[in-house]
Amino acid sequence: MADSIIQVKDISFSRGQRVIFNETSLDIQRGKITTIMGPSGVGKTTLLKLIAGQLAPSHGDVIFDGDNINQLSRKKLYQIRKKMGMLFQSGALFTNISVFDNVAFPIREHTNLSEAMIRDLVLIKLESVGLRGARNLMPSELSGGMARRVALARAIALDPDVIMYDEPFTGQDPVTMGVLMKLIKMMNDSLGLTSVLVSHDVEEAASISDYIYLLSEEKVIAQGPPEDLMHSNDPEVKQFMEGLPDGPVPFHFPSSVDYEQDLMDGRQ
């Protein structure tokens, strides 16, 4: 794929005995919104952590803007991470400091700007997510949606090249979901970012994505623009995109004993 900023090449990763990825590959195009979709527990968040170098694959490479993430020294990895932003599912704000200080944190850590300049920068970032007025609140005083918006302002504080969103819509009301969708799209287009979105909210993610990867059972089972996946005839893709309760992914967890027999066994 032309002009990929992130290349995941044949990665394998396991947690204990459980295989999460088995020689999985995907490319993230620069300047686009790419969504990683798949059922719960398939390893979507794990994939983001692999891209960020927080986890290391047992096999394969993750290339970020020409650098092999897994072969970098700790120091170099931290330098590369200045080019990445991550929005965690919970927001992951520092609970002992205010909204303002949360957004100012990465700026204070990595620059020698004056407090007046930092104040301006923080207010610009907070204004872009619509929360300039909430700058003196503590994280415990924010709603879930507001916390994610503050976390988004913090994630873009250092003007990263790539921003990764971990389940940004989960548990949000329709209004907040709409706000977050608008913000993700707006950030991507106006700041020239590359966005990697992990989500299983099909409609919302599809409406703003340029490209979708569908993961299932350790592999990428489908990929393409949202409209292609929406109209796919592949039963597995169809089941996920249309939210069907039964199909290739069975409704019933496999059991070694027949249902009727199981009930009779209880009586005996």
Partner 1 sequence: MNGIIRLGQFGINICERIGISGIILFRAIFRKPDFKHGFPALVEQLYSVGVLSLVIIMVSGLFIGMVVGLQGYNTLVKFGASQALGQLLALSIVRELGPVVTGLLFAGRAGSALTAEIGLMKATEQLSSMEMMAVDPLHRVIAPRFWAGFISMPLLGIIFSAVAIYGGYWVAVQWLGLDAGAFWSNMQASVNFNIDVLNGIIKTIVFGFVVTWIAVFQGYECVPTSEGIGRATTKTVVYSSLAILSLDFVLTAMMLGGW
Residues in touch with partner 1 (CB under 8 A): 49, 52, 54, 74, 78-79, 81-82, 84-86, 88-90, 92-95, 105-106, 108-110, 151, 154-155, 158
Given a contact cutoff of 8 angstroms between Cβ atoms, the answer to whether 80 and 158 are in contact is no
> Min. distance of Cβ 266 from partner 1 in angstroms?
32
Q: Which is nearer to partner 1, 92 or 123 (CB)?
A: 92
Helix pair angle (115-128, 144-155), 10° resolution: 130
Give the 3-state secondary structure of residue 245. coil
Q: What minimum distance in Å lies between the beta carbon of 247 and partner 1?
A: 32
Q: Cα–Cα distance between 116 and 137 in angstroms, integer?
A: 20
d(CA 202, CA 180): 15
Instruction: Please say which residue, 37 or 155, places its beta carbon nearer to partner 1.
Output: 155
* Shorter beta-carbon distance to partner 1: residue 10 or 109: 109
Q: Which residue has the tokens 């080019």?
A: 83
- Shortest gap between Cβ of 119 and partner 1 (angstroms)? 18
Q: How far is the CB of 56 from partner 1 (least distance, A)?
A: 14
The smaller minimum CB distance to partner 1, of residues 58 and 79, is found at 79
CB nearer to partner 1: pick between 55 and 220: 55
Given 3-state DSSP classes, what are the helix, strand and coil percentages for the chain, each rounded to the nearest 5? 40, 25, 35
| Cα(98)–Cα(113) distance, integer angstroms | 20
Q: At closest approach, how far in Å is the CB of 53 from partner 1?
A: 9
